[in-house]
Amino acid sequence: MATGRSLAVTVMDVTPGGSMVESMVARLAEEVDMARNETAGERGSVDVPPPTMELAEPLRLFDNPVRDRYEMWSGDELIGVEGYEVTEHGDVILLHTVVMEKFGQQGFARGLVRGVLDDAAARGRHVIPVCTYVRKFIARFPQYQELVAAANA
């Protein structure tokens, strides 16, 4: 589905660090397993629709390890961020998804999370989705479920 819009991901090294509570990992593993069971037998991959709002400048996604977040930009305007921590094992804990109010309800959060998950996959990393939006995204788009670290433990 070509729309003329592109999403570029700049890959930067992130130094592993941070901490995690094992009970949270176990709970997330249960949620992912439940989502997998709900989608068993359904399509293995679901297309992720692009944002519905047209922008003058193309979307760009950057990993900003200094601020522990991914940033989505259009020109010089910040669209949204995905906050994260990196565990000592290199897994990425996705903490929160924030889209600037004027870009809300237009599909930019969906594009942001897709870019972050695609980058994690390209780097061979697993994610720990603490953010409820990311958890719902992964349940809706089953092709990303194998990236969840808790489910692979």
- pLDDT > 70? residue 6: no
Q: Strand, coil or helix: what is 104?
A: coil
Tell me: the pLDDT tens digits for 113-146? 999 999 999 999 999 999 999 999 999 999 999 9
* Angstrom distance (rounded) from CA 148 to CA 77: 31
Q: What one-letter code names the amino acid at 15?
A: T
pTM value is 0.71
Counted domains in the chain: 1
Show the tokens assigned to 19.
């901490």
> Among 146, 64, 61, 63, which residue's Cα sits nearest to residue 111?
61
Least confident of 28-32, 89-93, 111-115, 119-123: 28-32
The torsion angle over the Cα atoms of residues 55, 80, 75 and 127, rounded to 10 degrees, is -110
Query: With contact defined as beta carbons under 8 Å apart, do 84 and 68 qualify?
Result: yes
The reply to whether 122 falls in a domain is yes
The reply to whether 85 falls in a domain is yes
* Angstrom distance (rounded) from CA 129 to CA 136: 9
User: What is the DSSP secondary-structure string of 128-152?
Assistant: EE-SHHHHHHHHHSGGGGGGBHHHH
Q: Which residues contact 4 (CB under 8 A, 6 or more apart)?
A: none
The reply to whether 2 falls in a domain is no
Question: Residues 93-99: what's their mean pLDDT?
Answer: 97
Tell me: the pLDDT tens digits for 75-88? 999 999 999 999 99
* Angstrom distance (rounded) from CA 51 to CA 72: 12
Confidence of residue 26 (pLDDT cuts 50, 70, 90): very low
Domain span holding position 108: 7-11+16-152
The reply to whether 102 falls in a domain is yes
The reply to whether 1 falls in a domain is no
CATH number reported for the structural domain that contains residue 136 in this entry: 3.40.630.30
> From start to end of 33-89, where are the E strands?
59-64, 69-74, 77-86
Confidence of residue 151 (pLDDT cuts 50, 70, 90): very low
Q: What is the mean pLDDT of the chain?
A: 78
Residue of 53 and 132 predicted with greater confidence: 132
DSSP for residue 57: S
